[in-house]
A and B are shown apart, each in its own frame.
Chain A
Amino acid sequence: MTSTTADGPALADDDLPGGEPGTPSDAAAPDSFDKDDLPTPPGATWALLMSLLGPLRARVVVASLLLVVQQAAVQAGPLLVAYAIDRGVPAFRDHDYGPLIAVGAGYAVCAVGAGLLQYAFIKAAARINQDVLLDLRGRIFRHAQVLSVDFHERYTSGRLISRSTTDVESLRELLSEGLQELLGVVLSFVSISLMLLWLDLGIGAIAVASFGPLYVLVRIYQRRAGKAYSGRSTAIAAVIVKFAETMNGIRPVQAFRRERANDADFAELNHRHERRNGDALLEMARYVVGSRLVANTAVAGMVLWGAYRVASGTLELGVLAAAVLYLRRLYDPIDRLAMFLNSYQSAAASLEKIAGLLAQVPTVPEPVAPKALPAPSGGLPGREVRFEEVGFAYRTGGEVLPRFDLTLPAGQTVAVVGSTGAGKSTLAKLLARFYDPTDGRVLLDGTDLRDLPTPELRRGVVMVTQEAFLFSGTIAENIAIGRPDATPEEIEHAAKAIGAHDFISGLPDGYDTDVRKRGGRISAGQRQLVAFARALLADPAVLILDEATSSLDIPGERAVQQAMDTVLHGRTAVVVAHRLSTVEIADRVLVMEHGRIVEDGTPSDLVAGTGRFAGLHRAWRESLA
């Protein structure tokens, strides 16, 4: 008894898109951290899975029981057929309608029961799946937020995004389709085999014996398909990288006439994927043929055995009929098993990557014993900043700050200048607590930054960086990130103070303009103005500007400087800049070189001197002449 539905369950094919890596990050990359394999501690994957399912243990048990009972109801059908043929028919001939009524009632009860149980199980399983996914999504998100900036600088955004989208998606597929399937497959294999053994030892024995070759086939398939699928994943990842890169860089692509060269490159990558894709599909075809051969041979064997025994009078006809009906259910799920293996493999790989991410320890942790900042002293909103014996080295090498001491009195505006790689940004990031120093401490009004909880820290220190990213939403919402409870008037006031009001009111919907819809038209300079308005609204005690005016034109820069002079008056400010024009509002200039502060003084003193700053300033003046 073979099944016409053999191709049926495999309808969804062997490659649901979720199994594919969705982002470029999965392809090979040269550098060590750039390779997308964070060290996953041994057992972390399993531990993660257990910690996700642990709280739901009771519900998992209930769902499994539902499925077991449901299977029992489903598998009762053929037994009733046997009963009807062997008992019902003779009884009916004797005008005993009882057995037949029992069969009819039993069949109806089983059918309805199976349906209801099916309903209950799907709902229960869905709740479990969704709770696991909700938990996992939340964990990845929160963890990514907690991880420090230096992690984000090394682990590209693309990878992080693919962890929380594609990888979660492939787990979702496993949970919502695969696991249910596997449970169903295993249960039906077990229950049908037991049933067959009980009906007739010989038939059952043949069924059980056929599992041997099937198991071998599955293993072979698993091995070969694993190879084919990983080859295909790599191939599609390369296609995706090329595709995304071209579309994101369409301006240079077109300006430099790369279209033809790109067509050729893409054709090669696309062709490679086509081959791998075909390989994977053929692998599936081989498995289907092999498993079907085993199944059909076993069915023929079992029918032969059963029919022979009925013919020789040692087996009842109804039992044979029941066995035959069971047989057609027995081998139905073998194709689905292959699909399950596919989704299992991709989900396991994804889970391992997620576990690796979650195993990362944040290098800038929240304080164990949080402290509050003392009330601002001296009537000014600014606070004193002290670097005490601070030294810093990146774990991966690179920019290093040797030990230094530095005190910035409350209310002082300090400009930090120096060439690229001198350590200016590192200094700023230490103050913003994007990094923690390797040695020493950074104190804000005498309190170690490491002792401040995030909300307290951000009332104290706010940093505006060069990359002025806008979140989706309106311009007003973007400014309000500085202070979520700000009124529209306060938002507008901040924008006016920074000189952003004019361009904002020129937008189609003014402050309510959706930045994503018109985002392409908001220039880099305008975005930086929004970022400033945000900082202004946040009203911090210490403001850090890290190359924050690089995209502004001179009037824009003036407006910002003016705003800092008036609105931020009395606050402590650190301005990192490679443009000397920024320096003019500073009370004090620090010149950095190779991680050291080599000059420190008022702008006029330094200009008058013979040091590095005087040289830089002279060069700059000459460039203006």
Chain B
Amino acid sequence: MPETLAEPTDRSAVRSLLRLWPYVRPVRARWFAAAFVAVLASCLGLVIPLILKWMVDGPVADRDPGGVWLGALYLLLLGLVEAGLFGLRRWLVARPLAGVEASLRADLYRHLQRLPVAFHDRWPSGQLLSRGTTDLMLLRMFLAFPLTFLLVNATTILVGFVILFAQQWTLGLVLLAPAVPLMVLCSLFETKYSLVARKAQDQVGDLTTVVEESVLGIRIVKGFGRNRSQAQAFRALAQRLRGTELHKARLLAWIWALITVIPELAIGAALVLGTIEVADGGLSAGTLVAFLSTALALRWPVESIGFLLAMSQESATAADRYFEVMDVAEEPSTAKDGTRDGAPDGAPDDASDGARDGAKDGARAGGDAEAGLVFDGVEFRYPDAAPGSVPVLARIDLRVRPGETMALVGATGSGKTTLTALVPRLHDLTGGRILLDGEDIADLERSRLRELVSVAFEEPTLFSATVGENVLMGAEGAGEEELRRALSVAQADFVDDLPHGVDTQVGEQGLSLSGGQRQRLALARAVVGRPRFLILDDPLSALDVHTEALVEAALRRVLEGTTALVVAHRPSTVMLADRVALLSGGRISAVGTHQELLRTHTEYAWLMSGAQSPRSADGRTAVATAEEGSTR
């Protein structure tokens, strides 16, 4: 998945990096000042050989110790200024660039929080995290170094060669000769290197996946004794990575060898020619010393151009990765301003199925009949589903009356969870509408909608916060009393046995709780705000029979005044509900009480008791018979 996400097709590095400008703008004054200081410092370094030349040809040649003192003083002054400028440059940009990094990160976080759940389903959080950390650090470094030094080095090289040519143009030419091939070689190398580096990165990713899975699936690996095959798979990947890394090293070794040899040869040639000219008297000894010294000073700026370009390239990739996510449109707050032109046949007219328990009649009658939770011709297909494929949900018509609790029953994979996710608009409908007390959820502000509807998810997620904070997340402004009530509804009395009671830290950074405990806290979170609408996705699955009965009794009281939709797998959960809706083949195929449906609907009877399943027909044990008897 990651490979397909980040592969840039046709882009310009410059254009990618230019997109950073809005973030750099606030600190542009300091950045430009720092760049100017860097150019200044760099050029100052080029003056030093000139002072040396002056000393060698002047006071030294004239045997004038006093003049030597003056030269040394100049050198010292220049050195002090240079040191000061280096510091000044770093000081100028240190905090501002840390600020740029932080504001990029804050924007990313803010944006990601507001992207649709469908987006997060597609993108592993690790991918997002690496954008928020590594990529942003790379961008900060890019602003601090490559960007500045591409400018600085270009200036330095220019000034340096002007100085060299001014002193002795023939020698200058000898030194200039390797500069161009060197830069070409470096940038050639970078193209090759970045390909291999990319490959290595991907292989590290693969290796990490194996590590992650072998840790997360340790019970399976151990349970089936697959340690050896896992280790083999790991070894194979690690070996492959080693091969790629060695390839990287080979390329690196080559380029470093060339970088060492080519300029040295040029300097050697300049030395021989220069010595001849000194001997001929065409050149002063001081000039030769200054010349060689300048040449040495220019080595790094020339060599580094390739690396700076590579880093820029890498930064451009980082910028692409960052903006790739930032460019995903946030959902409009109400769906109506979005594109929902495709709402087809919102009111299908075939009356053949038995599902129309007043949903549409209610919707049409208006007024009071619209109260409650109404699904009207709801259709949903995942955004990434192939066009023309069968929708996950089609023509869902269902009405949950105010104060009523409706159980949603359906076979594994029938789309129950998907349907519940539509109500708080974690996914947006692709057709039809959902009404809350007559109001289309598409017209409601998202935040308002989510205030009205409270959810407990199948997978109970707790955040790194105290137990109390986790529960109170469900209600703004709720207090201690509300918290206690919610905890008691969820039978979460275990909280009092935790080290710090409701102030115990839980989640990733705290105490790890069992599945049943987490589920009860998630349930408490859903009910703490006494929401008008409540959606519970199999809320009791991890509880033992005893606790389940207690929670149910308490929950029933809460549900009295709440319009609720409860996904149920088992008769015990269905017991919470006044009526049951059966989801089958992507539509509601029956609505009625548990008893009615058990009697009249074979699929329901099968789901709830396995009545039609061949296995249970023979009722082999006393227990099986007892169960079937009781559910009829």
Contacts and interface: CB of A to CB of B under 8 A. Distances in A.
B101 A255 contact: no
Tell which of A100, A284, A313, A553 has the most Cβ of chain B within 10 Å. A553
A249 interface: yes
Majority secondary structure, B binding face: helix
Given A152-B215, A293-B83, A419-B544, 4 more contacts: A4-B300, A11-B311, A550-B542, A578-B543
Contact of B293 (A1, A13, A274, A465): A1
Tell which of B99, B304, B463, B552 has the most Cβ of chain A within 10 Å. B463
B294 to A, nearest CB: 10
Tell which of A77, A247, A559, A622 has the most Cβ of chain B within 10 Å. A247
A296 B77 CA distance: 9
Contacts of A246: 109, 112-113
Nearest to A580: B545
A1 B271 contact: no
Nearest to B517: A420
Contacts of A11: 145-146, 149, 304, 307-308, 311
21 contacts: A6-B82, A11-B145, A115-B256, A130-B245, A142-B231, A149-B219, A244-B125, A247-B125, A252-B461, A255-B426, A255-B455, A270-B102, A281-B94, A288-B90, A300-B76, A311-B65, A458-B225, A481-B226, A482-B224, A554-B570, A607-B626
B602 interface: no
Nearest to B209: A472
A324 B215 contact: no
A472 B213 contact: yes
B464 A245 contact: yes
A161 B260 contact: no
B274 to A, nearest CB: 8
Nearest to A298: B79
A603 B211 contact: no
Nearest to B274: A84
Contacts of A258: 113, 473
A430 to B, nearest CB: 14
B561 interface: no
A454 B227 contact: yes
Majority secondary structure, A binding face: helix
Nearest to B511: A31
A524 interface: yes
Nearest to B91: A285
Contacts, number: 587
A145 B230 contact: yes
A6 B223 contact: no
A486 B317 CA distance: 43
A326 to B, nearest CB: 11
B358 interface: no
B424 A254 contact: yes
Nearest to B109: A266
A114 B268 CA distance: 13
Interface in A68-117: 74, 77, 80-81, 84-85, 88-90, 92-93, 100, 103-104, 107-108, 110-112, 114-116
Given A130-B242, A165-B208, A516-B1, A525 B413 contact: yes
Contacts of B110: 259, 263, 266
A286 B86 CA distance: 10
Contacts of B149: 7-8, 11
A517 B297 CA distance: 54
Contact of B450 (A131, A256, A300): A256
B258 interface: yes
B622 A604 contact: yes
Interface string A561-578: 110010000000000001
Contact of B83 (A84, A296, A506, A565): A296
A313 B63 contact: yes
A149 B227 CA distance: 13
Contact of B56 (A77, A118, A145, A317): A317
A157 B208 CA distance: 12
B363 interface: no
Interface string A1-20: 11111111001110101001
A267 B572 CA distance: 45
B218 interface: yes
Interface stretch (A217-225, A301-309, A347-355, A373-381): A301-309
A394 interface: no
A581 B261 contact: no
B60 A311 contact: yes
A197 B325 CA distance: 59
A2 B68 contact: no
A558 B611 CA distance: 10
A120 B412 CA distance: 62
Interface stretch (A46-54, A208-216, A235-243, A382-390): A235-243
Contacts of B121: 520
